[in-house]
Amino acid sequence: MSHPAKRWSAAILGAILAVAGAVVAAPLSAQAAPDVREHTITGYWQNFDNGATNLRLSQIPDAYGIVAVAFADASSQVGGITFTLDPALTNALGGYDKAQFIADIATLRSQGRQVVISVGGQNGAISLPDAAAAHAFATSTYALMQEYGFDGVDIDLENAPNLVNMTSALRQLSSLAGEDLVLTMAPETIYVQPGGSYLALIDEVADLITVVNTQYYNSGSMLGRDGKAYSSGTVDFQTALADILLDGHLRADQVGLGLPASPSGAGSGYVNPTVVNAAYDCLTVGVNCGSYKPAAKYPTLRGAMTWSINWDASNGYNFANVVGQHLGAPPVEPEDPEEPTDPGATTWSSSQVYVGGDTVLYNGVTYRAAWWTQGDVPGADPWGPWKVV
């Protein structure tokens, strides 16, 4: 979510397994799961006014298949949560009340979308120090699901969750809610590095998880699956770190790529949505990669996440339009990549810096750069730096 930038050093992290050969990933065992769209965007709806566009749930574009309501509040009981519409937001929306909010949740659900209550965030103060707190979390979350119509919960705790008690809480919630429970997570990068606390939690409740959308922003350099350090703001950062989750921890349909919707949505790590698309292409069909090559192809990758829907609205819904449309029309793996027709053209790389006059080959087409560029996918934007030769 939108938080002060946190810097972590890759040097303090342990080594991880080297990448395997590029093959299509063998699926982990499947289990009953909510009827979530095959490829979609998870978006956070802000229950507060911070300068981004204020929205009613009914105004959220269809590209957002999972909507996380941010955020629940801590109740007076340790571990318990509650929820109330922010009065300032209610006033800014001309009197958006609880009944209208509940009706909007029902409308989104009738459209085949899911709505979850998000727990945590920058100012989240939910902790589960003991078994009683775990029980309070499960029962209070389920009570909100019944009261408002939420499909489940999003875990966005920006600290190390208590493994034993959070595992217990989520399993108790699953027992209450049944197999249609939607469980999403949005861990910071440091916590899903090998040995990280979220990665341990993911392993404990993988059979319950709908999707994990790691926050690939507000982060320093991190280790990828190959043990090398990658910097945020690049295709490699997303693909190399996502490949850790895909290394036996989660199925591809349980993994999404979390990025901010606009520069205002995070302290650092914003990328043009075309870079998100390139990372998605790299992981699903092995094209548009940077220097990192995933260990396999993951065609069932769930999609992406953004903080936030409101900041996306302030930015003309650029994220929803660019990424959402791309998820709706998955890339096709080229059977025979063509060689450059221009002797000076090289295959385009998202991590390479190009200057005006440079030529590249992308999907069999030669493009020439009109000005300095890095990460702009050729052909993605008719007003962008790349022009067909």
Q: Which residues are catalytic?
A: 158
Q: E-assigned strands of 281-333?
A: 296-297, 303-307
Half-sphere exposure of 384 (CA within 13 A, CB side): 16
Joined tokens for residue 135:
């029980």
Q: E-assigned strands of 72-151?
A: 73-74, 81-82, 114-121
Joined tokens for residue 199:
């990665």
Q: How many residues does the chain have?
A: 389
CA distances from 190 to 167, 195, 198, 247 (A): 20, 10, 9, 17
Identify residue 194 by its one-letter amino acid code: P
121's enclosing H/E stretch is strand 114-121
- Cα-Cα-Cα-Cα torsion 347, 324, 261, 208, nearest 10 degrees, comes to -110
**Which residues does 78 contact at the CB level (< 8 Å), separation at least 6?**
127, 129, 130, 132, 133, 136
**Which residues does 377 contact at the CB level (< 8 Å), separation at least 6?**
274, 275, 277, 278, 288, 348, 350, 362
183's enclosing H/E stretch is strand 182-185
Distance CA 186, CA 216 (A): 10
Phi then psi for residue 268, to 5 deg, are -160, 165
**Which residues does 271 contact at the CB level (< 8 Å), separation at least 6?**
233, 234, 259, 375
Residue with tokens 């930015």: 315
Residue with tokens 């059977």: 335
Residue with tokens 């204020």: 54
Q: Which three-class secondary structure state does DSSP give residue 45? A: strand
DSSP secondary structure of 193-250 = STT-HHHHHHHHHTTT-SEEEEE-SS---EE-TTS-EE-SSSHHHHHHHHHHHTTTTS
